[in-house]
Amino acid sequence: MSAATLFPGGLYAITVETADTARLLEQVAAALAGGAAAVQYRDKSADVARRHEQASELAALCRRHGAPLIVNDDLRLADLADADGVHLGRTDGSVREARIVLGPGKFIGASCYQSLDLARAAEAAGADYVAFGSFFPSPTKPGAAHAPIGLLRAARDALRVPLVAIGGIAPDNAAALLDAGADSLAVLSAVFGAPDIRAAARAFNLLFETEPED
């Protein structure tokens, strides 16, 4: 773990892929106003110019709100856009390479799916947080394998880095993940698919505000 501060716990809002940059910025601003603690820019398109513009503008927006902007899957884009970090999947390169490129002050997250062994390896390589999922059926990745909630309990005992839960999370099923040890909830549809994005983010934020202390 090499970033200057711990990856923030709370709502980790994952963006919707869109060519409408102005609308994207409006959506993310609403999520931040509702209390999102971090934002992940996720865009799988081949439009390099659009992705660079969006990532750069989102990084500036998030900085104004005091929240990190993490780029999904693309280390080069995270570096060029001066984002606050990168999130790596299984085939997106190594944590060690990302640390060399981004330096010690940026966040590096790793998808660990349903594997505690992957999480241990990511932590050992210097990841700042690890993500597990999918805990519930997800409209974003309907074919994703299921992760048992007990995995979070095992990870909480085995790891020192923050834990991110992902996959079909909504305010009415999130409490079990927090109780099991999740520090952050990575959410796309239940925030950016909501009619009132700010209110949706606020509903998640309230779960953390009311979480009992140990």
Instruction: Dump the DSSP string for 48-64.
Output: HHHHHHHHHHHHHHHHH
pLDDT digits (tens, 9 = 90+) for 58-95: 999 999 999 999 999 999 999 999 999 999 999 989 99
In the annotation, is 44 catalytic? no
Residue 14 above 70 pLDDT? yes
The span from the first CA to the last CA of the chain, in angstroms, equals 24
pLDDT for res 141: 74
In the annotation, is 153 catalytic? no
Query: How many CB atoms lie under 10 A from the CB of residue 134?
Result: 21
Q: Buried b vs exposed e over 169-178: b needs ≥16 C-beta within 10 Å?
A: bbbeebeebb
pLDDT for res 211: 44
Query: How many CB atoms lie under 10 A from the CB of residue 160?
Result: 7
| Catalytic residue, candidates 51, 106, 111, 184 | 111
pLDDT for res 214: 43
Q: What is the DSSP string of 112-165?
A: EET-HHHHHHHHHHT-SEEEEE--S--SSSTTPPP--THHHHHHHHH--S-EEE
3-state class (DSSP) for residue 82:
coil
Q: Above pLDDT 90, what percent of the chain? A: 90
pLDDT for res 107: 98
Report the distance separating Cα 123 and Cα 126, nearest Å. Answer: 5
Report which of 149, 152, 90 is spatially closest to residue 121, judged by C-alpha positions. Answer: 90
pLDDT for res 212: 42
pLDDT digits (tens, 9 = 90+) for 194-203: 999 999 999 9
Name the band, by pLDDT with cuts 50, 70 and 90, for residue 209. confident
Query: How many CB atoms lie under 10 A from the CB of residue 188?
Result: 23
Q: What is the mean pLDDT of residues 40-69?
A: 97
Six token digits for residue 211: 């979480």
Decide: residue 101, CB within 10 A, 0-12 exposed, 13-18 middle, 19+ buried: middle
pTM greater than 0.85: yes
CB 60 within 8 A of CB 48: no
CB 136 within 8 A of CB 169: yes
pLDDT for res 143: 76
Name the band, by pLDDT with cuts 50, 70 and 90, for residue 213. very low
Give the position of tokens 């505690």. 116
Our measurement of the distance from residue 212's CA atom to the centroid of its chain's CA atoms, rounded to an integer in Å, reads 23
pLDDT for res 170: 97
CB 204 within 8 A of CB 191: yes
In the annotation, is 111 catalytic? yes
| Catalytic residue, candidates 50, 63, 141, 156 | 141
